[in-house]
């Protein structure tokens, strides 16, 4: 068995039309995050956890933001490719857990759908929860959103 941990942070976009995607779910009536892809911090943190557990580096190594082919890419695609890479190394995902850190928007209504969508792609349970940073630092001032993920892989026999 292998354990991996991932973290991602993005600031809010200045573009009021940019959509917010978290855990592969569109969160309406919220400004999106700035990033080369869809800036889905929850899914990116999970990808990094999966890649780390399989000793495959990080998301930027496989999907660099310097590559125009990844501009605006949906994180669903990144997660699907990450799961494929992990499987190619002889591992399957057993369990994952994500914590989203955000002062806004309120995420409770979306977390069950996030868990469902992420679980479908990885093939096992992905727990999703959220917290605030109690007003501390850049996240506490509402300048962006962060996410942390941990995952457990099992060697395929």
Confidence band for 73, pLDDT divided at 50, 70 and 90: confident
Confidence band for 134, pLDDT divided at 50, 70 and 90: very high
How far is CA 123 from each of CA 11, 57, 65, 120, 151, rounded to the nearest angstrom? 30, 21, 27, 5, 12
**CATH number of the domain residue 40 falls in:** 3.30.1330.50
Q: Is the pLDDT of residue 93 over 90?
A: yes
Range of the structural domain that residue 32 is part of: 2-155
Closest by CA position to 86, among listed 3, 20, 148: 3
How many CA within 13 A on the CB side of residue 22? 35
How many CA within 13 A on the CB side of residue 65? 11
Confidence band for 115, pLDDT divided at 50, 70 and 90: very high
Decide: pTM greater than 0.75: yes
Average pLDDT over residues 16-41: 95
Question: Given this model, what pLDDT does residue 113 score?
Answer: 98
Question: Given this model, what pLDDT does residue 100 score?
Answer: 98
Confidence band for 71, pLDDT divided at 50, 70 and 90: confident
Percent of the chain with pLDDT over 70: 100
Looking at the structure of the chain, the number of domains it has is: 1
How many CA within 13 A on the CB side of residue 18? 19
Averaged pLDDT of the chain: 95
């Amino acid at each position: 068995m292998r354990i991996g941990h991932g973290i991602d942070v993005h600031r809010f976009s200045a573009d009021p039309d940019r959509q917010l995607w978290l855990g592969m779910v569109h969160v309406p009536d919220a400004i999106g995050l700035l990033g080369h892809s869809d800036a889905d911090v929850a899914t990116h943190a999970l990808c990094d956890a999966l890649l780390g557990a399989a000793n495959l580096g990080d998301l930027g190594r496989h999907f660099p933001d310097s590559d125009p082919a990844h501009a605006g890419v949906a994180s669903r695609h990144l997660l699907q490719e990450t799961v494929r890479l992990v499987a190619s190394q002889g591992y399957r995902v057993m369990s994952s857990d994500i914590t989203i850190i955000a002062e806004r928007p309120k995420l409770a209504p979306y977390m069950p759908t996030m868990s469902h969508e992420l679980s479908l792609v990885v093939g096992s349970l992905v727990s999703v929860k959220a917290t605030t940073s109690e007003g501390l630092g850049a996240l506490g001032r509402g300048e962006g959103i962060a996410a942390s993920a941990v995952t457990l892989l099992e060697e395929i026999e």
